[in-house]
């Protein structure tokens, strides 16, 4: 049995779910998680968790709330030296055989202070560590996001990028591109094609979407806004993992922002995806861009969406489904196999 220390950014469930999948796929090892926000949910699953602050992201009106996000980062980072020392003490006491960071700020810095090796496992580093082209109008957003990721989250020694789209790494010596990690609960679902559309929103701020959906001639099951009374053809549901997965497996297609995990799970189940990426969240735009580029779906960056975009999308559903069926979106064994090979590297 090996010991694995795992830093996790907990401001969104995607990071937490990915970490949980890895732990469940590697049951012979002891895990200690470090992080804040939603990371405490891992303790509910029986894992050890050490709480540390996170410079998380805040949203408003389907946009990244830049002042709130920067203000929170300042509050967190003002005590960075003390937190780095605390995490370093945790590392020393646990003495891990492998140190992983999923977009967590303090773990790689603490590892570095001890002269120990850390491995990044996330999707975000596709932004900074891979080669790809994007529309000219997104180049400034790409530059700003890349600088932020490099300054805050890129102090690991090796980078494993788990992604539904495969783009070449800039430096193959320290970066590998691997397929998505999918929850076993998703793998166990048998997809069917119902008439409803699943809508999932990362943050409950994009209510402008509702007016457009009410004009469409089919039911929409909506997660992310909590349980609410139904509005015509809109059905609002509260948080439920099993309910969400059943609605995902049985939907006709998916509408979401641009979070990588939800997109990957939808593609694994053969569902075309229409993305409304959150403004100023460049990684979400990149996911949406590759959905369209690879023929898996489409996207819009409009702040006031109109029904015509979905009507055009629905006219191409057969085309999208065929493109999805030609690819594989399951990388659990490949990712955890690579981590098994890296056991014992934490000490250099």
Please tell me whether residues 320 and 338 are part of one structural domain. no
Q: Is residue 197 part of a domain?
A: yes
pLDDT of residue 79: 78
Please tell me whether residues 57 and 124 are part of one structural domain. yes
Q: Is residue 348 part of a domain?
A: no
Q: What is the pLDDT of residues 49-93, one digit of tens each?
A: 999 887 766 656 666 666 666 666 657 666 789 899 999 999 999
Q: Is residue 128 part of a domain?
A: yes
Total structural domains in the chain?
Answer: 2
258 in Cβ contact with 281 (< 8 Å): yes
Q: How many other CB atoms are found less than 10 A from the CB of residue 168?
A: 10
User: Which domain, by its residues, includes 69?
Assistant: 3-181+331-342
Q: Which parts of the chain have pLDDT scores under 50?
A: none
């Amino acid at each position: 049995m090996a010991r694995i220390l795992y830093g996790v950014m907990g401001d969104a469930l995607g990071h937490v779910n990915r970490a949980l999948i890895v732990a469940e796929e590697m049951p012979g090892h002891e895990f200690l998680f470090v992080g804040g926000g939603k990371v405490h949910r891992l303790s509910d699953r029986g894992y050890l968790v050490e709480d540390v602050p996170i410079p998380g992201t805040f949203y408003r009106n389907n946009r990244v709330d830049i002042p709130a996000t920067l203000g929170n980062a300042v509050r967190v980072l003002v005590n960075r030296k003390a937190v780095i020392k605390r995490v370093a003490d945790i590392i020393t006491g646990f003495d891990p055989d492998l140190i992983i960071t999923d977009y967590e700020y303090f773990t790689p810095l603490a590892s570095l202070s001890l002269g120990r090796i850390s491995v990044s496992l996330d999707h975000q580093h596709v932004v900074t560590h891979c080669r790809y082209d994007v529309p000219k109008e997104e180049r400034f957003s790409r530059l700003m996001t890349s600088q932020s990721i490099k300054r805050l989250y890129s102090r690991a020694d090796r980078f494993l990028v788990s992604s539904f789209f495969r783009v070449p790494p800039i430096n193959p010596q320290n970066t590998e591109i691997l397929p998505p990690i999918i929850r076993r609960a998703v793998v166990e679902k048998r997809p069917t094609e119902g008439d409803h559309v699943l809508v999932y929103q990362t943050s409950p701020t994009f209510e402008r979407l509702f007016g457009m959906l009410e004009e469409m001639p089919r039911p929409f099951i909506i997660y992310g806004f909590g349980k609410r009374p139904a509005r015509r053809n809109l059905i609002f549901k509260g948080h439920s993992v099993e309910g969400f997965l059943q609605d995902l497996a049985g939907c006709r297609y998916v509408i979401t922002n641009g979070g990588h995990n939800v997109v990957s799970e939808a593609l694994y189940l053969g569902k075309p995806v229409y993305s409304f990426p959150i403004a100023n969240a460049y990684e979400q735009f990149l996911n949406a861009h590759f959905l369209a580029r690879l023929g898996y779906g489409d996207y819009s960056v409009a702040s006031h969406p109109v029904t015509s975009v979905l009507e055009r999308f629905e006219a191409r559903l057969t085309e999208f489904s065929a493109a999805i069926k030609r690819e594989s979106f399951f990388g659990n064994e490949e990712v955890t196999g690579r981590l098994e090979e890296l056991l014992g590297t934490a000490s250099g």
